[in-house]
Chains A and B, each alone.
Chain A
């Protein structure tokens, strides 16, 4: 297969470049990449002092915070703020094409190695707890997504819950701990094949993702797992792995080839970080790169959706079309006026997809982000300066702050940030709040 090979070579050179870039800025924090680099180091010889690859990128949080001469932490805090600001400025403005309708299957390792106690209380309990938090947060940010659960136990893949858009259904499947008691060896291939099978019918415009929480260092497979990998690449399934023990070659290969993320959890907090990094919707260009030649296939579609009217529980009871039960509350299909119990769903009568519009609107701030505010550096520009923050009416300091050492790039020494559109000034707190939470400029109102 000549084209296949060419593809592989291209991939190779890509990763080389990554490594070169990485060694340039070793001091950077980026955990995932650092792992990559140190892995290579280890491969070359025993030159590195770190005994384990995943320990290489460990930065102590207290090392990054430095007291200033006066012994106060304000400059360090200001510095952190500045770093956040700069990261926002650097963020690509065109990352608009994100897959918003997502389908995710979480594969939980239920093998005996999950009973290890290196993470408190056990790997198993901790992953269940984090999986619950992950599911809640994931549905909060991806309201139109669906999650299914598969377990790896005793050499088999076990379906724990079907694909569902209702977080309660998914959470119920992992609420009973005794049903999930770990046993035997895990089988990556069986579980991935099962997950792949249940995603085969999905429309092309939605994403297909697999997240594996993997605690073992072995896998017992009935066949060649690399064939499974081929099929995942063909089906454009993105596989991400969070390993609890150590890096496995086959896991990394899965993630690299399918465009997913790989990480080894170093401690409880890092485990959670790795999981929660997977919550925001992935940008679509990563997906098309992984898909190679199939990228220009139209993977978008226009869908017809209805926005229902919600009836209160005081309205006269009527039969619902989904369960044929007599109840008062419910949603009315805007096209055929049938009454359904819950949204999002497909109307059983006319087939219209019924969603509540707030579900859709939750993701709009990805599409129309607030422009980054510019830091005002000096007061003498001739123009009139507002006395107080335009948003919260906090008054601005008249003179530059005493700690003039903290004039890092992107920070204003006088604490003013100006919207490029409406030319109003905002204070530091409002700047952060507006960009991270509200996503709407109080001055221009958009």
Chain B
């Protein structure tokens, strides 16, 4: 009846963003430390709510991504007996995650600090991991893992706790990951803790049927996590989980990696450009001159920075779509 569930949590651990987030001039400053305390409490709740529930935690660091913890890790029999007052699985998760994060943050040197965050790597790793637990192969079984009955395979989902802004260079890989999540029927939940809304993660949550929560009261992080991200997908149908009010379907252009709402699209390969180009950079298709001239007229004034007065009158009526170009 009640299936066990699996969460792959992706923690966005960008040092600079967390520094900004903890500054006291924010309405609700949240430091990495208190964030971790609340997230660990949430993870413990997940483990405690059902014995078979499984967990994997991935960290996205500048320029790399690391698996911090997974329930199937074999080497959990550390020698230290631990405190008698804490439930043993909680302690393992907490100490593992904290020490791994410390190690990784230590190893980042100054040159790497500004590297783009490895969110894509973490996301694809989470997908591969879920693929692995969904299809237990003979090789894992011989390594001592228990043979799993397909009926008891956990319901997988991914929870992304994001603080970094959109990385437009990773548009295509993120979209590819979203489509593979759709294929595997994985729900992607997003909790945006700091910074502006990210267009790509909004789309990820929308396309996979997850929920996107923008945290306004950041002191209430734990409450948000428990209320909207703890219930398993099966339970969620019965509950009023917050949904997005608006989904932005914008895309990143291939040429300058700008996020655009009106773009120019190559008809052969569907590459998106933010301004008309003569030759498609992806498939080397040459576009007819007449089209370029026609499209130039549509460009917004800001991008054109020439005399844009001619087109303030009205939006042009002829279709700018794929009709054969007419010289004008």
Contacts and interface: CB of A to CB of B under 8 A. Distances in A.
A446 B170 CA distance: 7
A96 B203 contact: no
A302 B264 CA distance: 6
A309 B322 contact: no
A307 B128 contact: no
A263 B308 CA distance: 57
A300 B176 contact: no
Interface in A370-426: 389-395, 397, 415
B34 interface: no
Nearest to A203: B322
Interface in B218-273: 243-251, 260-273
B251 A314 contact: no
B282 interface: yes
Q: How large is the interface on B (under 10, 10 to 19, 20 to 34, 35 or more residues)?
A: 35 or more
Contacts of B132: 392, 394, 429-430
Interface in A421-446: 427, 429-430, 433-434, 437-443, 445-446
B295 interface: yes
A334 interface: yes
A219 interface: no
A361 interface: yes
A392 B122 CA distance: 11
Interface stretch (A8-16, A98-106, A239-247, A254-262): A98-106
Task: Decide if the interface of chain A is mainly helix, strand, loop or mixed.
Answer: loop
A312 interface: yes
Given A301-B267, A304-B320, A352-B262, A358 B246 contact: no
A238 B95 CA distance: 63
B286 A429 contact: no
Nearest to A298: B288
B131 A307 contact: no
Given A300-B267, A306-B261, A203 B124 contact: no
B128 A303 contact: no
Contacts of A415: 139
B156 to A, nearest CB: 13
A308 B140 CA distance: 45
Contacts of A305: 262-265, 272
B211 interface: no
Interface in B277-323: 277, 280, 282-283, 285-288, 291-292, 295, 298, 315-323
Task: Decide if the interface of chain B is mainly helix, strand, loop or mixed.
Answer: mixed
Interface stretch (A51-59, A109-117, A173-181, A343-351): A343-351
Interface stretch (B9-17, B40-48, B78-86, B177-185): B177-185
A306 B269 contact: no
A151 to B, nearest CB: 29
A429 B135 contact: yes
A311 interface: yes
A335 interface: yes
A314 B280 CA distance: 41
Given A101-B267, A298-B288, A302-B267, A393 B322 contact: no
A358 B323 contact: no
A310 to B, nearest CB: 4
A228 interface: no
Contacts of A307: 249-251, 260-263
A267 interface: no
A307 B132 CA distance: 35
Given A203-B323, A357-B250, 13 more contacts: A99-B268, A302-B287, A305-B263, A312-B244, A312-B247, A315-B245, A350-B317, A361-B172, A365-B176, A415-B139, A437-B180, A438-B127, A445-B118
* Top 6 A-B residue pairs of the complex, sorted by shortest distance between their CB atoms: A357-B251, A391-B128, A361-B175, A334-B261, A442-B124, A205-B267
Interface of B: 65, 67, 70, 73-74, 118, 120-121, 124-125, 127-129, 131-132, 135, 137-140, 143, 170-173, 175-180, 183-184, 203, 206-207, 243-251, 260-273, 276-277, 280, 282-283, 285-288, 291-292, 295, 298, 315-325
6 contacts: A302-B267, A307-B263, A351-B320, A358-B175, A360-B251, A361-B179
Interface of A: 74, 96-101, 144, 203-206, 284, 298, 300-312, 314-315, 331, 334-336, 346, 349-353, 356-358, 360-368, 389-395, 397, 415, 427, 429-430, 433-434, 437-443, 445-446
